[in-house]
């Protein structure tokens, strides 16, 4: 299995000629040429994690791709003539060569004045874990973790505690578009130390780079 990171929170997971795209949002370069896509996972409805334009670009090249997301995403796409298969905490699916497990229910709290929306984390092949905009723990050993490095809902101490709690064998940063290069460097050093403390390796994966699992 191979993970390719795109900008911000978007990733492609590839295996046996099939691809899953995760969170293709507004901060990600237009995905005009991805092929072999059998599924798209959208963790929540915020525009930095999905846009109708990104979904249509993917579907144009991959018309049979299925879209999965929580109830909030399913409701959000109805105005755009798109269909999302609703998933929730505890759901398990086999999609092509991939096993998908969905964990958690809600986005992290940004502020008490802002409603808390639906959010699901996804565990792929019991190996790769990404929690969207949440700090939901997988509660199982994780080989590779996509760790949030910056967000309006996140302070670095929380990100450190999250990585320490998951204790992955490997971690790489996501959700970096909200930070400057200086911020990415500073917070990355903290996440690297937390990953190493748990016995893992921190990979400074940049947009366009891949990681073999």
pLDDT tens string, the chain, 213 residues long: the values are: 999 999 999 999 999 999 999 999 999 999 999 999 999 999 999 999 999 999 999 999 999 999 999 999 999 998 898 999 999 999 999 999 999 999 999 999 999 999 999 999 999 999 999 999 999 999 999 999 999 999 999 999 999 999 999 999 999 999 999 999 999 999 999 999 999 999 999 999 999 999 999
Q: Give kind and range of the element (H or E) at residue 206.
A: none
Cross-sheet strand order for the sheet of 66-69: 85-86, 66-69, 37-41, 18-22, 11-15, 2-5, 210-212
Q: Which CATH superfamily is domain 1-125 in?
A: Ribonuclease Z/Hydroxyacylglutathione hydrolase-like (3.60.15.10)
* Sign of the CA dihedral running 15, 49, 210, 58: positive
The 3-state DSSP composition of the chain as helix, strand, coil percent (nearest 5) reads 25, 30, 50
For 208, residues 6+ apart whose C-beta sits below 8 A from its C-beta are 4, 5, 6
Q: What gap in Å lies between CA 30 and CA 110, rounded to an integer?
A: 27
Q: What gap in Å lies between CA 10 and CA 31, rounded to an integer?
A: 10
- Return the ∠ at Cα 190 (arms to 189 and 191), rounded to 5°: 95
Distances in whole angstroms, Cα of residue 212 to Cα of each of 15, 107, 143, 144: 10, 29, 11, 10
| Residues 7/28, Cβ–Cβ less than 8 Å | yes
- What is the pLDDT, as a whole number, of residue 79? 85
**Domain residue extents for the chain:** 1-125, 143-204
């Amino acid at each position: 299995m191979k993970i390719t990171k795109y900008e911000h929170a978007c990733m492609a997971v590839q295996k046996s000629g099939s691809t899953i795209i995760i969170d293709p949002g507004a901060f990600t370069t237009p995905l005009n040429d991805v092929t072999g896509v059998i599924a798209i996972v959208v963790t929540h409805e915020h525009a930095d994690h999905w846009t109708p334009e990104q979904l249509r670009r993917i579907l144009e090249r991959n018309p049979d791709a299925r879209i999965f997301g929580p109830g909030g995403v399913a409701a959000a796409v109805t105005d755009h003539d798109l269909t999302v298969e609703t998933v929730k905490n505890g759901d398990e699916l086999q999609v092509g060569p991939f096993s998908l497990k969905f964990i958690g229910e809600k986005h992290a709290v940004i502020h008490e004045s802002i409603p808390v929306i639906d959010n699901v984390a996804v565990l792929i092949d019991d190996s790769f874990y990404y929690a969207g905009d949440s700090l939901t723990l997988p509660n199982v050993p994780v080989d590779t973790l996509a760790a949030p490095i910056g967000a309006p809902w996140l302070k670095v101490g929380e990100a450190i505690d999250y990585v320490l709690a998951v204790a992955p064998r490997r971690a790489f940063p996501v959700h970096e578009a909200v930070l400057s290069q200086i911020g990415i460097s500073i917070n990355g050093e903290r996440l690297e130390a937390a990953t190493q403390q748990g016995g893992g390796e921190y990979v400074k994966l940049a947009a366009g780079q891949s990681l073999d699992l």
